[in-house]
Each structure stands twice: as C-alpha cells, then as structure tokens.
Structure 1
Amino acid sequence: MITSLIYQPKFMLTNHEKAKNKSVIVQSNRGWLRLQLPRLVARQMGKERAFIYLGLADTPENRQRAEIKAKLIQDDILHEEFDFSLEKYKPSSHPKLHLTVVQSINKKELSTIKLFEKYLEFKQSTLKESSLHYLRTSIYNYLEKCPCKSLDKPLDIRAWFLENTTNSMTKRILTHLNAAVKWGIKYKLINLKISPFEGMSQELPPHNWEKDPQPNAFTQAEKQAIIKAFEEHQGNWNGKGWTGFAYSYYAPLVKFWFMTGCRPSEGIGLTWGQIDEDCSVIIFNHAQVQLGGGRIVPSEGSKNSRYRKPRKFPCSQSLHDLLISIKPNNPKPSDSVFPSPKGKVINYSNFCKKAWDRIVDPIVRRNSTPYCCRDTFISEQIAQGISPEIIARWVDSSAETIRKHYLDDKLLGHLRPIDTF
C-alpha cells in the first residue's frame, strides 16, 4: 500500500529542470517493485530521494504494470500535473492476494578445476607442503587436461581418466576430486546435496600394492654385500686410476637405514639436534622431502602427518658406534648428520639414480630402493623375536601394517615352531 504524502510544492519545475531530470525508474528491492521519482521531484517533497512502493512482486507481468505506472507519472511531471499527494497514483482497488511461483535461480555451477582451486586454497594452511605440491601439480594437472569439467557428468570424467591414465592414478584423482566436491557441498559453493563421485574410486580395482603387498627385504648376505660395495667404491676405474665420485661417501647413510628401518627421507633429514649427546637415543620428528623440480623441503608434519608424534629410537651398539665415528666436534643442532658432498641436503632422486641403482642392482639382480632397508630391518627384528607392536613404535607404523606390508617370509624361513612334546 502507498502511504499518502500531503505536500504542496513551494515552486513549479522550470523547463530546464524538467529536461534535466524527468525519468521515473522501475526498481526491484528485495524481490518487490518500486518506482524511484526524479531527484528534483523528491527535493520538492522535502526528501533527497523518493519512492513509490507498488506492493507488487518482481515478475515479468508485474514489471509491465510498473512500467505503465511509471510512464503515467512521468507524463504528469512533464505536463506539470504531478500529484504531490500521490492519491492519483494509488491503485483503484487492492488486488487479491495470490501466490506467484518463481523458479529459483541456481548458482552458477563451478567447474571441477575451479572448485579444486578453491579447495586447495582452503587446505593450504593444514596440508604439508609436499602434499600440497602433489595436489597442485599431479592431481590438478590431470583435472585441467580432462575435457569434461562439469560436475553433472561424473561418468564422463571417470571414463576419460581411465582411458588417459592408469587405473591407480584414476583412483587417486577420483578420491581427491570427491573430497573437493564434499567440501564444496559443506560450504554451499555448489548446488549438489551429495557428491556424484562418492564411492567411485572404491569401485575400481585396487592398487597393485593393495592386491598383494610384497615386501622386498634383502637377505643377510645381500645386505652385507651392499654395505661392502658402498664402503669400497672409489669411483670409476679407467685402467690407470680412479675417476669420478666415490660412492663410499654414502656408506654411513646406507648403514643407518639398515640399522634403524627409518624412512629414507627421515635419514636424509636427520640433524645432530635429534640425537642425544652420547648417541644412545634418536628422536625422529621430521624428514626432508623432495618436490618437483628438485626443491627439497622439510616435512615436520601437520594434523595429517605421519611425523606428528616424535618417536624415540634406542640405538643398538653398532648404531651407537656408527654415530660416534661420524660425529664432528661440537656440531650445531641444525647440522645435517648425513649432508651431501657439498654440505647441503642429499637429493634422494639423484642418489637413487646415480649411486643406489649402480651399486645395488648388480648385487641383488632385481629392482630395489632404499625403502628395502626398512623392509629388511623390520623382518630381521621379527625374526629375532621382537613383537610387531614394539617394532611399530620404533619405525612409526602399526603392528597390522607391519604384518601386512613389511613382514618378509623369506627371512623367516629358519624359524620353527617350539616343540612342546
């Protein structure tokens, strides 16, 4: 309803004023239509701005009615017949109330790539730098390459990944994409109620390591041969002398991996500040992780990190002697225990390609990595009667994981059941 304004103008509009400011504008305010009067008219009414509220919902039909009303008022202003009491512009009778069904306006749906960008921006404060780098490069790049970026075509997206990458990579992409979609639903960034990717990765065949996890531990003979080969490597023999780099430099690190069962990145990232003064206890609480492009960053963990709980590792006599033999005088807590030849952090990828593969592969005649030292340590400790629960504490794992992934039967072949008769 329009409230009447009883007001007598103090002056009439001049021709210049009429030409300069004569438009009546139809506006929508919170879904309801109103008319905005020209500013000069509003000022004569003692206001900076004046509106006539029509009591009509903003629909195409009602907007046409409002345009007609605006034209009527505008003509009155031009002909100096404007009714400042507004009585003339009231509806002749109140229209019957009725409900108008207005189709809801959907949000513009985000593409998979735009949603994933927002998801990564949100997660960057909680993820490890190495995890964030993996999502920003590998997963993001695949999403960007996929020609189908609409969230309402999940099967097309799945089909493209299966055709253009491996089954294992498809599982990873769908897992992370599902997490991003569920996050978008939670924060109302998309109009979905449930993620169309929910459970999709689980429907694919399992990863190879999930099917039949095979640890790759070295035998005692292989382990000793590997250590000896590193200790004795002097470079490349050209018939006259040794040239190139001697990989014997890395022998202490290789021994350390065998003696602790730590992850390779934990050994590379070890500092003297993590080892007590007499080299009897090591505190594992971070690692050094190599990102794309060769950049190496510390991984000290987050709430999702494997290294979120520092663990104490008691040194055996052999490990104690090794650490004492390589410990410099008065090392700084931040000094690396196993630095590169140039005093920096060892580049794990380069080490594997140049040193490990060259030294180890001819000995064991199968593919291997420094992670096999971890398999070897765990299997050897079990063979010596140490319980998986204790070993799990030493190596930051679980007894279940050790039984499932690390226990190598070929190292346990000498064990026999206890004879109870």
Structure 2
Amino acid sequence: MVNSAKTPTGKAKKGQVTVRPDSGGIKACFPRSYFADGKQIKLGTGINPDDWEATAAKLQRRLQLELEEGKLSTDEGIFNLGRYQEILEEYGLRAKLRLVRDAAISTTDEIPPKPQLSLMEVWDMYCEYRKSGLRESVYCRVYQGQYKNYLESAIEATKSEDALKIRNWLIENRHLKLVKQVLSNLSKAHQLGIKNKLLTHNPYDGLSDEITTKGAKGKTQNEVETDNDVLDQSKAYTWNEVQVILDFVKDKYPLWHGFFKFKFLTGCRTGEAIAFMWSDVEWNKERILIRRTYDYATKKFYPLKNDKSYKGELIRKFPMPKDGELWNLLKSIPQGEDNEVVFKSKGGKIINHAVFRNRYSGNESSRIKGIIPQLIEQGKLTKYLSPYNTRHSFITHAVFDLGIDEKIVSKWCGHNIDVSNKHYQDVAVFAERVNPEVPQQTELDILKEQLRQQQEQMQKQQELINKLLAERETK
C-alpha cells in the first residue's frame, strides 16, 4: 500500500482514489481533502466496462501516486485536468470527461468534444423516441412543454449549451424536483444518441445524482399535483379563510366565483373542474360524478387515471344534498346541454388552465394582480398556497372540522388510501350517504341519540300500557 502524503502540518491526508463502475461507465473518484474547494471530483476513464478490473487497478495505483505527489493539483489546489488527460493517454484510454460536481477548473484545461447535434436536436430526437410510450397529455404538456421550456430558457439565459452552465442555471432558477427530472432525461437522451452513433459522449451523465428536491429557494413554484400531504393543515386554508377568498372573488371577479367555490366544495383537481359537464349532475340521486379531466396542452378530455387509489373504478361519486351549498351553486348556473361544461370563460369557452392560474396567483409580466396576493396585501390572508391547495383545504376541512372519516373523503376525492378492496367497497356505499357540508356525529353523539330514541320508545310503550289499563278499569 502506498503511504499517504504529509500536509504542511505533518498530518497524513485521508482518502484514496477509487476507480470503479458508476452510472454505466468506469469512473475515477478523487477524495475531497486534496483540493482547496473541498469538492469531490468524479471523472470518466474510458475503460471498457466489460473488462475493467485489471486496468482499473493499475490506473488507480498511478492516480494515487500522482495525487500524493501533488501532480494532480495546481499550486492553488485546483484539480489539474490536463495532467489527468495525459495519464489516460499513457494508458491508451480516451475518457468521456465530466465533473459530477462543479469543481473549479482552469480555463486552459481541455474540455469534452463538442456534440455533433445541438441540445434541442438531441431533446427532440429523444422525445420522438419516447412519444409512443407516453400518454398524449404527458408528452405534450411535460416533455414538449415544461421540460422543453426549461431547456430553452437555460440556453437563452446562459447563451451556451455547456452542460454545467445549463445545470447550474436550472438549479438556481427552477423547481429542483423538475430540474432533476430534466437532467435525468437529458442523460438518457444522450445515451440514446450514443447508441445510434449520433453522439460520442454524454455530458449529462450523473449531473442529477446529488440534486435534492426541496425546490429553489425563494422561487415561485408551479402547481404540482400531489396528494402526499393532503392532511397537512399548514398547506391548507382554514374554512374561514376560504370564505374570505370566496367573498372577495364574488365581489370583484363574479365570473370566477362559481368555479372557485366548486373547487373548494368538492376538493376536485383543476382539470376535473374544467371538464365537469351537465351530464355529470344527477339531480334525482342528489350527487355529481367526477369522471374526466381536461388537459390544457392537448386541449382534450381524458378519463380519470386508473391508479391504485381508485381500485379500478374510473368514476367518483360525490354527494350533493338537496338545497345544500353545492346543490344551490349548480342551480344558480343556467343549465346547458349534457355535453356542455358547467363552468365557462367570459367568451363562453372552456376555461384556460393558465388563465385561471394567473387570476389566482397573478402574473407580473401581464400585470395581472392575483386574488391571493391581493388578499395577502390587504392583510386578510397570511400565506400563499398554490391553486392545487383548494383541494387540500376541502380535505382538511372535511376531516378535521366536520369529522368525516378520512377513508370517505379519500373516496370522494380519489386520493390514496391503504385499505382492502372489500373495505373500500363498503366505504364507497357509505360515502354516498354522508353529507359533505355538515359536521358528523361522534361516537358519543351517536350513543346519546340512541339512548334518547330508546327512552322515547319506552315512554310511548308506557303510555300505551297506561291507556290499556285505564280502558280495562272503565269496563
């Protein structure tokens, strides 16, 4: 074993170079302790993954020696990429070099070869490849919409197609969960190009590995439809705050009042509210049906996703008690044909998802003052929650304020619950009998009511007995 080098203080530096399989290739990993910025460096070696161990062992020993002798770092403690290239050439290797972490590198160091295709050409090729395996709405809205917009924005902002610059700009300016997904797909796109002999290297290999998904600090996040935290009351407006929002909308934006109230009263998703039709209203059964969603990218209707939360059922049945708030809301809207949507835009068309979001949140570039920001400015609300949190607000109100069983609320809203199929069906039957607008009785309330009914029945029986005895005495 090679002895560790000494630092100026006389202490041995810790950490060894390793050469090992990583993300489909053989990479050299250098310990943080040898470099001034304290960042780990991981680089491709060009070693054949099918027969790597012997060559990797030799290269590892050589790199460790060079590192301890100070030949792999400059006087400033910066990794010497040029020297690393020279060592690989001595071993007859050509690496597809990539720094996994943004280690400082001199501008005079060598850089990976320029790709044969532009970044957007690589992306379009990849999207075409993925198209047949994706739902149409996902392909248009996410891959050709959101992801592509991220890349175009990054290229325009950095005036570059350099992978690290693209990565760093995205991290600083966009939602990290989506950034991680974009970078991961970019890596797959380049691998596809290499497989088809259109590209020779993958500069995005591993760039998403160490990204967390908490979101860019201080950045406004788009509506993300997730039900992982529907019972988190900090992510919901109180029902008093909901009334404040609805009163404000009714006064200032009456056209939007019905749409906002419907979302708060049912907990449905925005696309489901946009797609709600008159054929989904069953007056005689005092219920509504949630059975489709509208995708703003493809401008098409789709059935509800058949995921585990529905146990195979694609239609959700939501109670609408006669003369209740939901009943009266729908009665106040002029009824159209069965195939017409209930809530329409000012021009009588299907509501545009982006227009709703701008009305709710605001849009600085269009000088639109959002409803929620205005209420915060007036001191009537204390926090901003995304349009999707109208759903959270209904669910937490139903569960915590009205005492409705979470499994019933799950059935109404179609979010995930962990119960057996039989229990789920039992809940489904019971859910249609529960009023979503009034508090539910506790077990103590139920026992008190049963006792009252028993006492009332006993009193009637006693009165009947007394009457019969009285009639007998008169005879």
- TM-score between both structures, scaled by the size of structure 1: 0.52
- Give the distance between the partners of 2:260 and 2:282, measured in 1 at CA: 21
Match of 2:410 in 1: 392
Match of 2:141 among 117, 130, 135: 130
Report the 3-state secondary structure (helix = DSSP H, G, I; strand = E; otherwise coil) of the residue aligned with 1:207: coil
Q: Which residue of 1 aligns with 2:54?
A: none
The answer on 1:371 being equivalent to 2:388 is yes
- Alignment check: 8 A CA contact 2:316 2:413 kept: no
Change (3 A) 1:386 1:297: same
Supply the distance in 1 between the matched residues of 2:266 and 2:283 (Cα, whole angstroms): 18
Question: Paired residue for 1:310?
Answer: 314
Q: After alignment, is 374-383 or 198-207 more displaced?
A: 198-207
Code of the aligned partner of 2:318? P
Name the CA distance, whole Å, in 1 between partners of 2:126 and 2:391.
35
Once residues 349 and 379 of structure 1 are traced to their aligned partners in structure 2, the CA distance between those partners, rounded to angstroms, is 22
Please report how far the alpha carbon of residue 163 of structure 1 lies from its aligned counterpart in structure 2 after TM superposition.
4.3
Q: Which residue of 1 aligns with 2:300?
A: 298
Listed as ranges, the matches of 1:2-401 within 5 Å are 110-125=117-132, 126-127=134-135, 128=137, 129-135=140-146, 137-142=148-153, 144-145=155-156, 149=161, 157-163=163-169, 165-166=171-172, 168-169=174-175, 172-182=178-188, 185=191, 188-190=195-197, 197=204, 200-208=207-215, 215-231=234-250, 233=251, 247-278=253-284, 280-290=286-296, 297-298=299-300, 300=302, 310-317=314-321, 318-329=324-335, 331-346=336-351, 347-352=355-360, 353=362, 356-357=371-372, 360-361=375-376, 362=378, 363-383=380-400, 384-399=402-417
- Two-structure CA RMSD over aligned residues (Å): 4.4
CA contact (8 A) 1:290 1:348 kept: no
One-letter code of the match for 1:139? Y
Task: From the superposition, tell whether residues 147 and 343 of structure 1 become closer, same or farther in structure 2 (CA, over 3 Å).
Answer: closer
Between Structure 1 and Structure 2, whose CA radius of gyration is higher? Answer: 1
Find the counterpart in structure 1 of residue 105 from structure 2: none
Preserved CA contact (<8 Å) 1:168 1:206 = no
How far does residue 369 in structure 1 lie from its aligned partner after superposition?
Answer: 4.2
Matched residues in 2 for 1:160 and 1:324: separation? Answer: 49
Provide, for residues 49-83 of structure 1, a one-character-per-residue CA deviation record: whole Å limited to 9, x for no partner.
Answer: xxxxxxxxxxxxxxxxxxxxxxxxxxxxxxxxxxx
CA distance in 1, matches of 2:388, 2:169: 31
Instruction: Indicate conservation of the 8 Å contact 2:154/2:169, yes or no.
Output: no
Matches of 1:147 and 1:248, distance apart in 2: 45
For structure 2, which runs of at least 5 residues remain unmatched after alignment?
A: 1-114, 216-220, 363-368, 419-441, 445-475
Q: Within 2, Cα distance between the matches of 1:170 and 1:158? A: 15
Q: Give the counterpart letter for 2:397 in structure 1.
A: E
Conserved 8 A contact 2:122-2:189: no
Q: Deviations over 1:219-247 (max 9, x none)?
A: 2322233333334x1x5xxxxxxxxxxx2
Distance apart, 1:376 and its partner CA: 1.2
The aligned residue for residue 70 of structure 1 is none
Partners of 1:132 and 1:345 in 2: how far apart? 24
What is aligned with 1:19? none
Query: 1:364 aligns to what SS in structure 2?
Result: coil
Which structure has more relative contact order (CA 8 Å, sep 6+)? It is 1
Superposition deviation, residue 118 in structure 1 = 0.7
Whether the 8 Å CA contact 2:150–2:170 is kept in 1: the answer is no
Q: Distance in 1 between matches of 2:301 and 2:184?
A: 26
Partners of 1:259 and 1:301 in 2: CA distance: 21
What code does the residue aligned with 1:322 have? N
Tell me the CA shift for residue 159 of structure 1.
4.8
Any idea what the Cα deviations from partners look like across 1:82-112, whole Å, max 9, x if unmatched? xxxxxxxxxxxxxxxxxxxxxxxxxx85554
Name the amino acid aligned to 1:120. C
Contact 1:282-1:313 within 8 A present in 2 as well:
yes
- For residues 137-179 of structure 1, the C-alpha deviation after alignment (integer angstroms, 9 at most, x for no partner) is 4134146446665xxxxxx623543146526546534423423
Cα distance in 2 between the residues matched to 1:391 and 1:378:
7
Q: Aligned partners of 2:192, 2:301: CA distance in 1, in Å?
A: 29
Aligned residues: 272
- Larger mean CA deviation between 338-347 and 253-262 belongs to 338-347
Q: Structure 1 pair 183/138, CA: closer, same or farther in 2 (3 Å)?
A: closer
Q: Distance in 2 between matches of 1:147 and 1:228?
A: 47
Partner Cα distance (2:412, 2:200) in 1: 44
Residue type of the partner of 2:372?
Answer: D
Shift in alpha-carbon separation, 1:195–1:398, aligned structure 2, 3 A: farther
Identity of matched residues, %: 21
Q: Any stretches of 5+ residues in structure 1 without a counterpart?
A: 1-107, 150-155, 236-246, 401-415
- Give the drift of 1:386: 3.6
For 1:283 and 1:194, the matched residues in 2 are separated by: 52
1:202 Cα deviation after fit: 4.3
SS in 2 for 1:300: strand
In the alignment, the residues of structure 2 paired with residue 304 and residue 312 of structure 1 have an alpha-carbon distance, to the nearest angstrom, of 12
Q: Is the 8 A contact 1:280 1:320 kept in 2?
A: no
Distance 1:220 1:177, change over 3 A: closer
> What is the match of residue 60 of structure 1?
none
